[in-house]
Amino acid sequence: MTFQIKNNVYWVGIKDWELQKFHGNEYSTDHSTTYNSYLIKEEKIVLIDTVWMPFSKEFVKNLAKEIDLNKIDYIIANHGEIDHSGALPELMALIPDTPIYCTKNGVDVLKGHYHKDWNFHTVKTGDTLDIGNGKVLVFVEMRMLHWPDSMATYLTQDNILFSNDAFGQHYVNDLMYNDLVDQDLLWQECIKYYANILTPFSALVDKKIKEVLELKIPIDIIATSHGVIWRDNPIQIIQKYIEWSKDYQENQITVIYDTMWNGTRRMAEAISEGMRKTNPTIKIQLLNAAKFDKNDILTEVFKSKAILVGSPTIGRGILSSMAEIMEMIKGLGFKNKKAASFGCYGWSGESVKELNILLEKSKFELLNDGIRAKWNPDDESLEKCIEFGKGIGSQLI
C-alpha cells in the first residue's frame, strides 16, 4: 500500500510487521520496523531509497502500480546499507540505465555489495538536482551518521527532509505519522535507536545538526527511512538529537549483573540499598544481563551517569552474558560515565579485576577497585556491600 505524504510526494516503502531482530541478531525490534522509500512525481520522477532485499519483488511490484518504472528519471540512494538499497538489483534489472545519485562513498558501498557498474552520479553537500515545477533536491552529506556514505536529501517548496536513518526508529504502525502513534512507544524506540546506533557518532551528530540548522531551511516534514514520518513539529526530534548528542545522562545508575546461585544478585541488591541510603533521589535500575534484552540494557546505560557491573567468577573470568554486554558497551564508546564492579567468588576470584579491565577499555571512570564476596555472601558481606553502595551513592550526588 502506498500513500501520499504531501503534494506529489508518496510513501512507497514496506512495512515489516514481523521483524524481531535487525542487523543480524544485534538489535531487537520489539515493534518491528518499516523500510521507507519515497516517490516524487514532479516534471521529473524521483525515487528516494528502496527497501531490504527480501522485499525486493514486493517493492518493485508495488512501485510499478504507482508509476511506469521506465518513467523514473532519477534514483537517490541516501544510504547503501542493505535495508535501503536491497531492492536496487531487482529494480535496476528492469531500468538499468537510470541514474543513481549518491555520495562518493555511496558508490563504494553499492559497488561493494552488488558488484554492478550502475549509472552512478556522485553528489556532495550543497549539490542540487532540478526536478521541475520549480522544485529542487538539495543534497547534504551525513558522513558517519551512521555510515561513511550516509546522506540526506531536501526537497524545496514542499520542505521535506528525507533524512534516511537519522531521526528514525524501529517502529511499525499502520498510521505512520508521529502525531498519530503511541507517544511512549515512539520515544522509547527513538532513544533506543539513538543509544544503540548513533552513540559512537554523537560528536558528529551535534556538528551536522548545527550545519543543517545554519542553512535556515524550513523543514515541514522529516521523512526518515525507518518508522514514522515527522510531520507534527518535526523540530522536536532534532532537538532531542541535540540533547542526546551531548554526552546525555539522566540522574540514573544502572546495575547490570548476572548470577549463578544468586550471590551476585544479592550483592547487587545490597549495593543498591546502600546507594539509596545516601542518594535518595537517584533512579536505580537493576538488570540481569542474562534475562533482559541487551539493547534495552544499553539504552539504560545511555541514560545513566554511572553503571555497576557484577559477575561471579567462572573459570578464570566472567559469565558470558556479562562478557557480551561489556563488548557491546565498548563498541558504543560512551563518554563521561562512571562505573564500579562487584561479584562473588569461591577461590581465585578474577571477575572483579576482569570487569575493571573491561570498564577501563570502555573509557568508564572507575569509582573504586570494586567489591568481592567469598562464596554466598553472609550478613557481614552484605553489610559491606551496603557500605560500598553508600560510598557510590554519595559520589554520584
Shortest distance, CB of residue 11 to ligand FEO, whole angstroms? Answer: 16
Q: End-to-end CA distance of the chain: give it in Å, rounded.
A: 52
Shortest distance, CB of residue 349 to ligand FEO, whole angstroms? Answer: 42
Stretch that binds ligand FEO, among 43-51, 76-84, 178-186, 256-264 (CB under 6 A): 76-84
Which of 225/295 has CB closer to ligand FEO? Answer: 225
| DSSP symbol at 119 | -
Q: Is residue 278 within 8 Å of 238, Cβ to Cβ?
A: no
Q: What whole-number distance in Å separates Cα of residue 341 and Cα of residue 21? A: 30
Shortest distance, CB of residue 344 to ligand FEO, whole angstroms? Answer: 41
The question of whether 146 is a catalytic residue gets the answer yes
Shortest distance, CB of residue 22 to ligand FEO, whole angstroms? Answer: 8
Q: Does 15 bind ligand FEO (CB under 6 A)?
A: no
Q: What whole-number distance in Å separates Cα of residue 385 and Cα of residue 271? A: 5
Among residues 31, 84, 170, 226, which one is catalytic? 226
Q: Does 79 bind ligand FEO (CB under 6 A)?
A: yes
Among residues 146, 149, 171, 248, which one is catalytic? 146
Q: Does 265 bind ligand FEO (CB under 6 A)?
A: no
Q: Is the peptide bond before 146 cis (omega within 30 degrees of 0)?
A: yes
* 71 CB neighbour count, 10 Å cutoff: 11
Q: Does 84 bind ligand FEO (CB under 6 A)?
A: yes
* 76 CB neighbour count, 10 Å cutoff: 24
Shortest distance, CB of residue 295 to ligand FEO, whole angstroms? Answer: 15
How many H-runs (helices) and E-runs (strands) does the chain carry? 12, 23
For the chain, how big is the Rg over CA atoms in Å? Answer: 24
Can you spell out the DSSP letters for 77-101? -S--SHHHHTTHHHHHTTSTT--EE
Among residues 81, 141, 189, 354, which one is catalytic? 81
Among residues 27, 38, 79, 141, which one is catalytic? 79
Q: Does 83 bind ligand FEO (CB under 6 A)?
A: yes
Q: Does 90 bind ligand FEO (CB under 6 A)?
A: no
Pairing of strands 45-48, 38-41: antiparallel
Can you spell out the DSSP letters for 319-386? -HHHHHHHHHHHHHT--S-EEEEEEEESSS--HHHHHHHHHHHTTPEESSS-EEEESS--HHHHHHHH
Q: What whole-number distance in Å separates Cα of residue 129 and Cα of residue 45? A: 12
Nearest to 386 by CA among 292, 227, 268, 302: 268
The question of whether 130 is a catalytic residue gets the answer no
Q: Does 225 bind ligand FEO (CB under 6 A)?
A: yes
The question of whether 193 is a catalytic residue gets the answer yes
Q: Does 231 bind ligand FEO (CB under 6 A)?
A: no
Which of 84/384 has CB closer to ligand FEO? Answer: 84
| DSSP symbol at 314 | B
Which of 224/245 has CB closer to ligand FEO? Answer: 224
Among 226, 231, 337, 353, binds ligand FEO (CB under 6 A): 226
Question: For the window 102-141, what string marks contact with ligand FEO as x by the rule CB under 6 A?
Answer: ----------------------------------------
The question of whether 345 is a catalytic residue gets the answer no
Which of 199/225 has CB closer to ligand FEO? Answer: 225
Residue nearest to ligand FEO (CB): 81
Report residue 303 as a C-alpha cell. 541514560
Q: What whole-number distance in Å separates Cα of residue 112 and Cα of residue 52? A: 16
Among 42, 165, 269, 350, binds ligand FEO (CB under 6 A): 165
**Residue that is written with C-alpha cell 559477575 in the block:** 311
Q: Does 81 bind ligand FEO (CB under 6 A)?
A: yes
Shortest distance, CB of residue 28 to ligand FEO, whole angstroms? Answer: 15
The question of whether 171 is a catalytic residue gets the answer no
Residue positions annotated with a catalytic role: 23, 79, 81, 83, 146, 165, 193, 226
- The site for ligand FEO (CB under 6 A) is made up of 79, 81, 83-84, 146-147, 165, 225-226
